[in-house]
Structure 1
Amino acid sequence: MSDANAAPLILIIDDEPELEVLARYLELEGYCVLTATNGEEGLLTLASCRKPCIVLLDLMMPVLDGYGFLRRLHDDATLCGLPVFVVTASFPTEQMAGTVGLLHKPLHMELLLEAVAPYCPPPHEDKNSG
């Protein structure tokens, strides 16, 4: 079976309870979503699935935090180009090296969709037409 017709895949790495709400929202928008509750679990997920079009990454997590995840991701030749959006409640003022953007919690879903769209084409672009 080919991935060509599969919905765009997003990996969310976050230990917050809102993770499931975010995942469900993206699924309702037509995305395929995988979740992990820490950076180590995120790396294991990446090793066992098709490559996502983007990773949404929290910074503060147990086991392996977002900073450690980014270091290990960029050390892996097969994953180093993977777009990563930092999603955090802390307030870094600028985009971190090795990431493509920064979103602050609590997330506004419309802003999230706008941020993700350049990396994961919206699967329901035509849902209101016809």
Structure 2
Amino acid sequence: MCTPSLVLLVEDHVDSRELLEEFLTMEGFAVETAGNGQSALERLSRLPCPDAVLLDLMMPVMSGWELMRHVREDDRLKQLPVVVVSGAGNHQAMPEGIQGTVPKPVDLTELRATLARVVSAQG
């Protein structure tokens, strides 16, 4: 039996995080969650590298923009596939290294397709 792909979901809005976690679990992913970039960095330091990160950009404590800077400076994490899930403005001006974007409100069909593309590109 195959191990499910691991997704780190980084979202500060509790209801959105819980709904996305439930959706991802139903889609067959193993899911870890974090409520901000700092919490995500802590999880990344002790977890095996996830197959993908779903990242909100606008969060307290440490934004998704700041988290991306830390990730890209870390040799172990710099190739980590990241999909931005955000209502933050211009999705054309995303941080370097983003493999996909899904605007909020999230279209689950679009999220499913984007995540499938990103995870399959890793394997």
Could you say whether these structures have the same fold, taking a TM-score greater than 0.5 normalized by the shorter chain as the test?
A: yes
The match for 1:125 is: none
Distance (whole Å) between structure 2 residues aligned to residue 79 and residue 109 of structure 1: 27
Contact residue 95 and residue 102 of structure 1 kept, 8 A = no
The structure that has the greater radius of gyration is: 1
5+ residue gaps, structure 2, are none
Kindly indicate which of the two structures has a greater share of residues assigned to helix. 2
Give the secondary structure class of the aligned counterpart of 1:15.
coil
TM-fit CA distance, 1:93: 3.7
Distance (whole Å) between structure 2 residues aligned to residue 101 and residue 120 of structure 1: 11
TM-fit CA distance, 1:42: 0.4
TM-fit CA distance, 1:95: 5.0
The match for 1:28 is: 26
Q: Which has the higher contact order (CA 8 A, sep 6+)?
A: 1
5+ residue gaps, structure 1, are 122-130
Query: Matched residues, percent identical?
Result: 35
The match for 1:48 is: 46
Give the secondary structure class of the aligned counterpart of 2:40.
helix
AA at the equivalent of 2:75:
A
AA at the equivalent of 1:107:
V
TM-fit CA distance, 1:6: 1.5
TM-score by length of 1: 0.85
Q: How many residues align?
A: 118
TM-score by length of 2: 0.90
